[in-house]
Amino acid sequence: MKATARAHPNIALVKYWGKRDEALVLPHQSSLSLTLAPLQVTTTVEFGAASETVEINGHVAKGSERERVTSLLATVRSEAQRTLGPARVVSRGDFPASAGLASSAAAFAALAVAGRAAAGLAPDARRASILARQGSGSACRSVEGGFCEWQRGSAADGSDSFAVQRFGPGHWPGFRMVVAIVSRAEKDVKSRDGMRQTVETSPYYPAWCADAESEIARARAFIAGRDLEGLGALCERNAWRMHASALAADPPLCYLLPETLRLIQQVRELRQKGTPVWFTLDAGPNPVLLTDVAHELSAEALCLAAGATEVVRCGPGSDAALVEDALF
């Protein structure tokens, strides 16, 4: 009745931005990401507790934060088809304190894997991915390691909308993603609301969606050939297009800060001097640089010189997995 899992976060190379079903968290387009080590979240779930409690990074979760966890566990209970009782959940991440890095993908992937095991359900990456998706869309891509593709699916119940691993972490061990923290401020508009606003009001949104599936096929080919230049250029283009669709919303959504643009400018300059470095950007101001192991220290130095307050160097991470060390 008790299980513990750990999972890594992921960063999308071809991004998801916009839901066709908000309640089930079903996207308008497929997306492709890399699961990142060494950052990780560990979560222990035990059913049969005295009352339902959720503790995240040392604080008791309340409101919508608690609600997202308890509703995911309600799905676990209905799949297990037996009375499991209230759950105690304790979750801890090793992310830099309040960094601008979303830990939710790792957290919900770890919760899905631990919750299913604690309920006595057999390991099943597809079901765990569908479950993690309910907590946060991008979390479905953290159930497996390496390069994972979240297939948008078309079924109304979301049963065909889950992530699959395309290339394991060993396929391209020298690939690196360097996260630059330029701001730790909470963003004004959360992804969930920003997506809705973009879907409903941006005239560029249909164009953003139209290109997604072929963009993924192209990214897959670059990853297959370990073509950093091809993948880097594609990622920059994809990030700009996602931000362009958000900027064209009404009211407009701008997630970029002057520090973001300064860093991006320096990435271009370093690249012009011959260093293989590109960037991507989620819905926030913190760029993530793409490079290889031979140039990750140059990429880190660039970030620090451009004003980043913290830099995290990451490589391909492994599957979410059950571990022995319970948190209680």
Euclidean distance between CA atoms 192 and 17, whole angstroms:
9
Structure tokens at 81: 């088809």
- Using CB under 6 A as the binding rule, whether residue 107 contacts ligand PMV is answered as no
Binding residue for ligand PMV, selected from 35, 136, 245, 280, defined by CB under 6 A: 136
Question: Residues with Cβ < 8 Å from 297, sequence gap 6 or more?
Answer: none
Segment near ligand PMV (CB under 6 A); pick from 14-22, 156-164, 209-217, 306-314:
14-22
- Using CB under 6 A as the binding rule, whether residue 191 contacts ligand PMV is answered as yes
The answer to whether 309 and 283 have CB atoms below 8 angstroms apart is no
Nearer to ligand PMV, 102 or 249 (CB): 102
Euclidean distance between CA atoms 287 and 290, whole angstroms:
10
Please give the backbone phi and psi of residue 43, each rounded to the nearest 5 degrees, phi first. -135, 130
User: In the range 28-47, which residues lie near ligand PMV by CB under 6 A?
Assistant: 31
Nearer to ligand PMV, 35 or 44 (CB): 35
**22 Cα distance to chain centroid:** 17
Segment near ligand PMV (CB under 6 A); pick from 1-9, 132-140, 272-280, 303-311:
132-140
Structure tokens at 129: 């991915």
The answer to whether 118 and 77 have CB atoms below 8 angstroms apart is no
Euclidean distance between CA atoms 9 and 112, whole angstroms:
14
Nearer to ligand PMV, 46 or 282 (CB): 282
**97 Cα distance to chain centroid:** 18
The answer to whether 47 and 87 have CB atoms below 8 angstroms apart is yes
Question: Residues with Cβ < 8 Å from 22, sequence gap 6 or more?
Answer: 192, 196
Question: Residues with Cβ < 8 Å from 258, sequence gap 6 or more?
Answer: none
- Using CB under 6 A as the binding rule, whether residue 15 contacts ligand PMV is answered as yes
Segment near ligand PMV (CB under 6 A); pick from 12-20, 36-44, 244-252, 290-298:
12-20
Q: Least distance (Å) from ligand PMV to the CB of residue 149?
A: 11
- Using CB under 6 A as the binding rule, whether residue 137 contacts ligand PMV is answered as yes
Q: Least distance (Å) from ligand PMV to the CB of residue 194?
A: 8
Structure tokens at 327: 């948190």
Residue count at the site for ligand PMV (CB under 6 A)?
14
- Using CB under 6 A as the binding rule, whether residue 103 contacts ligand PMV is answered as no
Q: Least distance (Å) from ligand PMV to the CB of residue 227?
A: 21
- Using CB under 6 A as the binding rule, whether residue 149 contacts ligand PMV is answered as no
Q: Least distance (Å) from ligand PMV to the CB of residue 51?
A: 29
Which chain residues interact with ligand PMV by CB under 6 A? 12, 15-17, 31, 102, 104, 136-138, 191-192, 282-283
